[in-house]
Structure 1
Amino acid sequence: MAVQFESSVKQVPYSQERVYHKLSDLNNLASVRERLEQFKDKFEGKLEDMTFDQDSLTIKVQGISLTLRIIEREEPKCIKFEGDKSPVPMNLWIQILPVGEEQAKMRVTIRAEVNMFMKAMVSKPLQEGVEKLADMLAMIPY
C-alpha cells in the first residue's frame, strides 16, 4: 500500500532556477554539510551524519542510514529521488515553482510502500521528516 506525505509549501527568497540548480547537483550541498551542527538542532539530535555526491544523498538518522538517489530531473521545477537500500521502498520529490523573479516556493513529497501494520508505525515519523526536510531546504542560501 502506498502512503504519501507532503510538506507545507515553503517560501524561498531565490529564483526557481537558482534553487533548482543548487539542488539538482547534490555536490552543491557542501555548504549544508558545513552547517550540519545547526541542522542537528532542527532535527532534535536525530540527524547523525550526511554524505553526498552529484546524484545521491545519504543521511544517518538514529542509527539508520538512508540513501536517496536522483532518478529524474525536470528542469527547473522538479527533482525526483528514489530510496536506495532504504528500509521501505520509497520515492521523494522536490517541487519548485516560481513566485516572482527572485522568489520561489517549494514542497517536498514522500511516497512509501508499506503494509497496514507499518503504516501506523511510520506515518508520524515520515510526516515530521518531510516537514523538517522542507524547512531545512528552505533555509539553504541558494
Structure 2
Amino acid sequence: MAQYESNVKHVPYSQERVYDKLSDLNNLAAIRERMDEMREKIGDKIQDMTFDRDSLTLTVQGMNVTLRIIEREPCKCIKFEGDKSPIPLNLWIQILPVNENEAKMKVTIRAEVNMFMKAMVAKPLQEGVEKLADMLSMIPY
C-alpha cells in the first residue's frame, strides 16, 4: 500500500462551504466549466469529467477512472473509493478550519501497488494528488 499526500492548500471560504460543495459532486459543474481556464495549471492530463451526486469519472491520459464517495464526515472529510480504476485506490479530502472565513485542505491517495508498479506510478500519483488539490483550492465555493 502506497500513500501520496498533497501539500496543504488554503481556501478563502469557510470549512462548511467547502464541505457542502464537495460532498455533493453535482456541484462540480463549476470545475468542468473552468477546466479550460485551468489547463495551464493542471495540464492536459484530464480530458473529460462526468459526475453525479456520489461519483466522479475522469478520463486521465486516455484511462477512465471512477471515484465513488464511500463516506462523508460532515465538514471534515470526504472519502472516495476507486471504481473501475486501473489500480485499487482510495482518496480522501480533509478540510480543516483556519477561522470562520478560511479553511485548509489536503488530498490523500492510498493505492494498492506492488513494488514493481510502485516505481512506475509513484511520480504520476504524487503529481495527480497535487494537481487535484490545486484544482480544488481554485473553486469558488
Which amino acid is the alignment partner of residue 35 of structure 1? Answer: R
Q: Once the 2 structures are TM-superposed, how far is the Cα of residue 69 of structure 1 from its aligned partner?
A: 0.2
TM-score (norm 1): 0.97
Aligned partners of 1:48, 1:34: CA distance in 2, in Å?
13
Instruction: Provide the secondary structure at the position in 2 that maps to 1:17.
Output: helix
Which amino acid is the alignment partner of residue 106 of structure 1? Answer: M
Which amino acid is the alignment partner of residue 132 of structure 2? Answer: L
Q: For structure 1, list consecutive stretches of 5 or more residues without a partner in the other structure.
A: none
Q: Once the 2 structures are TM-superposed, how far is the Cα of residue 42 of structure 1 from its aligned partner?
A: 2.2
Correspondence list, 1:20-31, <5 A: 20-31=19-30
- Give the fraction of aligned pairs with identical amino acids, expressed as a percent: 75
Q: For structure 2, list consecutive stretches of 5 or more residues without a partner in the other structure.
A: none
TM-score (norm 2): 0.98
Correspondence list, 1:69-108, <5 A: 69-108=68-107
Q: Once the 2 structures are TM-superposed, how far is the Cα of residue 77 of structure 1 from its aligned partner?
A: 0.2
1:132 aligned onto 2:121: no
Which amino acid is the alignment partner of residue 19 of structure 1? Answer: V
Which amino acid is the alignment partner of residue 36 of structure 1? Answer: M
Instruction: State the number of aligned residues.
Output: 141
Instruction: Provide the secondary structure at the position in 1 that maps to 2:13.
Output: coil
After superposition, the CA RMSD in angstroms is: 0.7
Match of 1:6 in 2: 5
Runs of 4+ in 1 over 3 A off after TM superposition: none
Match of 1:48 in 2: 47
Q: Once the 2 structures are TM-superposed, how far is the Cα of residue 38 of structure 1 from its aligned partner?
A: 1.8
1:40, 1:48 within 8 Å by CA — same for their partners in 2? Answer: no
Aligned partners of 1:49, 1:23: CA distance in 2, in Å?
18
Q: Once the 2 structures are TM-superposed, how far is the Cα of residue 68 of structure 1 from its aligned partner?
A: 0.2
Which amino acid is the alignment partner of residue 20 of structure 2? Answer: H
2:42, 2:135 within 8 Å by CA — same for their partners in 1? Answer: no
Instruction: Provide the secondary structure at the position in 2 that maps to 1:114.
Output: coil
Instruction: Provide the secondary structure at the position in 2 that maps to 1:35.
Output: helix
